[in-house]
Structure 1
Amino acid sequence: MSHPHWQTLLQHPSAESSLQAGRHFDGQHETAIVPLEDRVILEVRGPDSEKFLQGQASASTAHATDTIAPPAVFCTPKGRSIANAQLIRAAPECYWLLLEHSIADALHQHLAKYAAFYKAELTLRDDLAIAGLAGHRLDDVFGDTLALPHSDWGVRISTDGDDTNETMAITRHPHAMMRLVLIAPSERLAELCRTKAPDLTLGSNDFWKLLDIEAGLLWLDEPQREKWLPQMFNWEALAGISFKKGCYTGQEVVARAHYRGQVKKRLMRLSVPTTELIETGTDIKDATSDKTLGEVVRSAVTAEDHVELLAIMTTKDDMPSLTINNQPAHIKPLPYALERRDPETLSD
């Protein structure tokens, strides 16, 4: 099944120029829709799907309900993060893992080694279309058509009986502005777009990337596989790690790092006065000693003619002046506290 041709679906003046990361977005009056073609669903289906995922994911399958879709991470036995994902319970014996497309094959191969011992099948659902929505008017635009979640990681599932081939999931992602992700069969999502086209502005993937940066949210891609412990990209602060659920692959290392305070690197948000994107992997340096303190993991140009980025850096009580590509870099506050947030506290 082919995905919607977004430019054709949104044939109205506001769709003619795509909303880029560097263009001002008026969230009070505009509603952005973004084709998230860099995301995919890895489906886990079968009588043992819940038991199987319970032994692999950092989130408990008990937390995945018809109103909550918790974030999770999948690790190697040494606690290194293979991929992070959102755990969506699409049906009683079917879970959807929403994750970055480039890392999906690696997670699929990793989980398949364990799935062989369970009645659970893994499938990459390339037939599903995924779109992001952002703006303060989402209730006004979609409230008459869809039931919307109103808390971070909340979810609403709409399905035709037990046929998950017709399932639509709507989940809310963190941001100061209301931000939703829609997952549905291509034709179902296309019809929704056609119905709401006059109210929507087509957004670019770079625009959505900027919203993730503002939210302090990193989705691991293939080059970042197995580089970090989950806490190094603040996953426990985003309710992505349960310290109460029991064993899963890598759990012992992740728990030890938490309780012994061994996490010496953290995800931070920075700003650089340039209009040129900064490549992933670029070094962040101490301006005085030229010592490397970390690396850029995401960047996007803003409407204010600077670049916002996320970086994983060595933590220090007294941070020195920083440079990136010989430009001054300034630390910006994250929208959440760097402390453990238990997924058991999530509600919608």
Structure 2
Amino acid sequence: MSFDWKAFLTKQGAHFDGDALTGFSTQPASLSSNAVSILSGHRLIRISGPDRQKFLQGQISTHMLQLQPMQYSTGVACTPKGRMYSSFHIIDDGDSYLLMLKSDIAESSVETLKKYAVFFKVELTNTPEFISLGFSGESIQSILPEIFAGMTLPRKNDVIAINGDGYLHAIAGINQRYGLWLKSEALEKVWSSLIKKLTPASEDFWSLLNIQSVMPEVSSHIIEEYIPQHLNLPSLGSVSFKKGCFTGQEIVTRMQNLGQQKSRCYRLTLPGSEQPTVNTKLFDGNGKPAGEIIQAVTNPFAETIEMLAVVRIEAAEANQIFMTADQAKPLQVHEIPYPIDPKKELQQ
């Protein structure tokens, strides 16, 4: 019988709404708190078999020939029209590839990939025996080696094995963060050590950090709605333009070469606590449609709503984005915290 990590966390003060972890009895005091976030809305899938590298090289945007054992990367999977049906984090554990993605697209992503896998010796399986954790905070770089007995922290795209129970990797962004893909039965073993140094947090806490770093993900609400450039994913290193062909590559590369992109992903904030839904339409200063919300989370530390939205670049740069066509509820547009350089990204 597999370890029931949800039941275990409930005994530790966690609160669940169905499968979603909504919080703990003790919450972080701020976004800079040293915290361990339980990413209950994510799932891992495993791709194994002798043809796994060749298969994925032709299906996803990650350059699989450059991803070495015990290394980490990110990527997307697209339809032939270049529309994303999945985005993910990927690790080569030496025997197979592990992909972490949103739970609500895990099954559909596996089924879509299986359609292309019939001529390859590969196996695609869900891996519910893993749970994903996120580490963050002002002192996280000094805390993690204390928790894991002097462990050297991973650099860039390196992966560190944790006692045979999981894989630790660094995460890009404006804050120093790390992800741990842990075998669920090991959670009970390490939990007491984690909470001596870190405050438990829900996935919303982690989502706020992602939003402030403008690091979007594909969820079930936006499957096949956007190409990678709309979510800034080439700028985040999730697309290799030098790897050769993959499904949808022609469309994605053409957009990068032509440089005619009119919309991209921005962080927006709105005072209050009334959280809008994903796909809510936004408007520019002339009352014309300017884009849509792709993620929204309440920020209890600032009494605001934090959002990621794909909006027209012209309206965003003018800071003229509104919740309604009559210019009610103006949104604050924040600067993207990383460079957007299509010509340089073509060299990735």
Q: Does 1:135 align with 2:144?
A: no
Residue 230 of structure 1 is matched in structure 2 by: 228
Residue 30 of structure 2 is matched in structure 1 by: 24
Residue 176 of structure 1 is matched in structure 2 by: 174
Once residues 316 and 196 of structure 1 are traced to their aligned partners in structure 2, the CA distance between those partners, rounded to angstroms, is 45
Once residues 178 and 11 of structure 2 are traced to their aligned partners in structure 1, the CA distance between those partners, rounded to angstroms, is 22
Shift of 1:140: 2.3
Which amino acid in 2 is paired with 1:69? Y
Match of 1:157 among 144, 155, 161: 161
Shift of 1:8: 3.4
TM-score by length of 1: 0.87
Which amino acid in 1 is paired with 2:96? C
Match of 2:303 among 265, 284, 305: 305
Deviations 1:95-118 (A, max 9, x none): 011111101111101100111111
Secondary structure of 1:248's partner? coil
Name the CA shift for 1:127/1:69 in 2 (closer, same or farther; >3 Å).
same
| Contact 2:242–2:346 (CA under 8 A) maintained in structure 1 | no
Shift of 1:236: 0.2
| Contact 2:221–2:279 (CA under 8 A) maintained in structure 1 | no
C-alpha RMSD over aligned residues: 2.3
Once residues 32 and 236 of structure 1 are traced to their aligned partners in structure 2, the CA distance between those partners, rounded to angstroms, is 29
What aligned pairs does 1:220-299 form with structure 2 within 5 A after superposition? 220-287=218-285, 289-299=286-296
Shift of 1:7: 4.9
- Structure number with the bigger relative contact order (C-alpha 8 A, sep ≥ 6) is 1
Aligned residue pairs total 328
What aligned pairs does 1:88-103 form with structure 2 within 5 A after superposition? 88-91=91-94, 93-103=95-105
Which amino acid in 1 is paired with 2:267? R
Secondary structure of 1:62's partner? coil
Shift of 1:54: 0.6
Deviations 1:290-310 (A, max 9, x none): 111001111222212222211
Once residues 134 and 307 of structure 1 are traced to their aligned partners in structure 2, the CA distance between those partners, rounded to angstroms, is 21
Secondary structure of 1:195's partner? helix
Residue 48 of structure 1 is matched in structure 2 by: 51
Once residues 138 and 343 of structure 1 are traced to their aligned partners in structure 2, the CA distance between those partners, rounded to angstroms, is 34
| Contact 1:273–1:328 (CA under 8 A) maintained in structure 2 | no
Once residues 215 and 198 of structure 1 are traced to their aligned partners in structure 2, the CA distance between those partners, rounded to angstroms, is 27
Secondary structure of 2:65's partner? helix
Once residues 123 and 159 of structure 1 are traced to their aligned partners in structure 2, the CA distance between those partners, rounded to angstroms, is 24
Shift of 1:15: 5.9
Name the CA shift for 1:15/1:295 in 2 (closer, same or farther; >3 Å).
closer
Secondary structure of 1:278's partner? coil
Residue 323 of structure 2 is matched in structure 1 by: 324
Residue 192 of structure 2 is matched in structure 1 by: 194
Once residues 192 and 66 of structure 2 are traced to their aligned partners in structure 1, the CA distance between those partners, rounded to angstroms, is 34
| Contact 1:277–1:300 (CA under 8 A) maintained in structure 2 | yes
Shift of 1:158: 4.2
TM-score by length of 2: 0.87
- State the identity %: 27
